[in-house]
Amino acid sequence: MTRILKGMLFATTVLAPAGMAMAQETQLTIESWRNDDLPIWQEKIIPAFEAKHPDIKVTFAPMAPTEYNSAVNAKLEAGTAGDLITCRPFDLSLAMFEKGQLAPLNDLEGMENFSDVAKSAWTTDDGQTTFCVPVASVIHGFIYNKAAFEEVGVEVPKTEEEFFAVLEKIKEGGNYIPMAMGTKDQWEAATMGYYNIGPNYWKGEEGRKALIAGTQKLTDSQWVAPYATLAKWKDYLGDGFEAQTYPDSQNLFTLGRAAIYPAGSWEIAPFKSQADFEMGAFPPPVKAEGDKCYISDHNDIGIGLNADSDNKEAAKTFLSWVASPEFAELYANSAPGFFSLNSTPVKMEDELAQEFVSWRENCETTIRPSAAIVGRGDPNLDLEMWRTSANVINGTMTPEQAGEETQKGLDSWYKPKQ
């Protein structure tokens, strides 16, 4: 009996690691918040990499988006995080790098494939060190149901006035909910609402940089006006939008019950697989015909190297591959709506994705205003904007109050450099 027991102990403790070592495979784990992309990684991206590097096995381990930051931070601090960390843009990943949790990647082979703008989201404030390989950006706009637009007899709106006229007409038609969005999860209101239409008001980068420099305040008219527009959306959202969650909104649109969906381009792939009608997209409408248009083209995903990883060499091999044009093309086509940041132009098959990208030609691009520098403190500006945007749409807060509250929160910790 004891001999059997000893044998078992021996087998499980001594032999098992030896057996694993004999296989001579390096295991890499990628931490990510993109649980929607799990099949894409498992079926397309990882097999393509493993075909080239049979000695490295990669596991994609995603979790719920809202949990990701706290969970990955806890894992990094406890030393149990994966070898590769998917990087949120700007301040969040910067904090990880400053704590020494992410390794610098300046000398990584393939980094030369990215422009400074692409790298800006994962570079230190002094522009010296880059710590994540840029993977993709997302563009905001509106996705619409082409069949619904035809049925109601409306054209794609270019100006704000036309936009509300379209909404009004769809509402009169009665067959469709004009716009699918809810305020229960709060982030939709800010991300698909405020950050989506806002750049046209604060003139993209100009306003964002002025906010960081302190020459503009969130109480200025260009920052309050988008709230006022959002408040007008209220009448065109579905019944009970206050209790409508993000998946509810997605389903309302893909089931063909809503005509317009305020979107981020990351919706393209799931919408394509679920909706059986034709979809089109239009950028946020401008104030008056011929105005310069601004779009939110937000650096969204990068991949960095866990500074404590035991498999740094293998991880770097993987990151170099992520930096290659081959990955860029594979990723952009497997996950349409995530646009490659690689300098090499990528050919995309998906029409809706092409539509989104085509706006870059005429419109100025900017990133979300709460992402960089002003998003570092407590209270967190991004979360504040979630709350105020939702409140404004719910009608429990006026646009002016929203501006004041967010500015007050920002003032409590942020002092612009003079």
Residue ranges binding other proteins (CB under 8 A): 66, 69-71, 73-74, 88, 91-92, 95, 182-187, 238-245, 248, 252, 370, 375, 378-380, 382-383, 386-387, 390-391, 394, 396-397, 409, 412
CB of 124 to other proteins, least distance (A): 17
CB nearer to other proteins: pick between 242 and 329: 242
CB of 378 to other proteins, least distance (A): 7
CB of 334 to other proteins, least distance (A): 26
Question: Is 220:145 a contact under the CB 8 Å cutoff?
Answer: no
CB of 80 to other proteins, least distance (A): 15
CB nearer to other proteins: pick between 66 and 358: 66
* CA–CA distance, 402 with 400 (Å, rounded to integer): 5
- Record the tokens describing residue 312, joined without a space: 């740094």
Helix (H, G, I), strand (E, B) or coil at 365: strand
Place of tokens 């400074």: 116
The size of the chain, in residues, is 418
Place of tokens 């092409």: 354
CB nearer to other proteins: pick between 233 and 356: 233
CB of 164 to other proteins, least distance (A): 23
CB of 181 to other proteins, least distance (A): 12
CB nearer to other proteins: pick between 109 and 185: 185
CB of 381 to other proteins, least distance (A): 8
> Which residues lie across from 60 on neighbouring strands?
30
* CA–CA distance, 318 with 137 (Å, rounded to integer): 20
* CA–CA distance, 339 with 299 (Å, rounded to integer): 9
CB nearer to other proteins: pick between 31 and 355: 31
* CA–CA distance, 323 with 113 (Å, rounded to integer): 7
* CA–CA distance, 184 with 166 (Å, rounded to integer): 25
CB nearer to other proteins: pick between 349 and 378: 378
CB nearer to other proteins: pick between 89 and 157: 89
Question: Is 133:105 a contact under the CB 8 Å cutoff?
Answer: yes
For residue 239, give every residue at least 6 positions away whose Cβ sits within 8 Å of its Cβ, in sequence order, or none: none
Helices (H), 174-311: 187-188, 195-197, 199-202, 205-213, 221-233, 246-254, 268-274
Of 83, 99, 393, whose CA–CA distance to 228 is shortest?
393
CB of 362 to other proteins, least distance (A): 31
CA angle 51, 54, 59 (to 5 degrees): 85
CB nearer to other proteins: pick between 192 and 390: 390
**Cα dihedral sign, 403-408-411-414:** negative
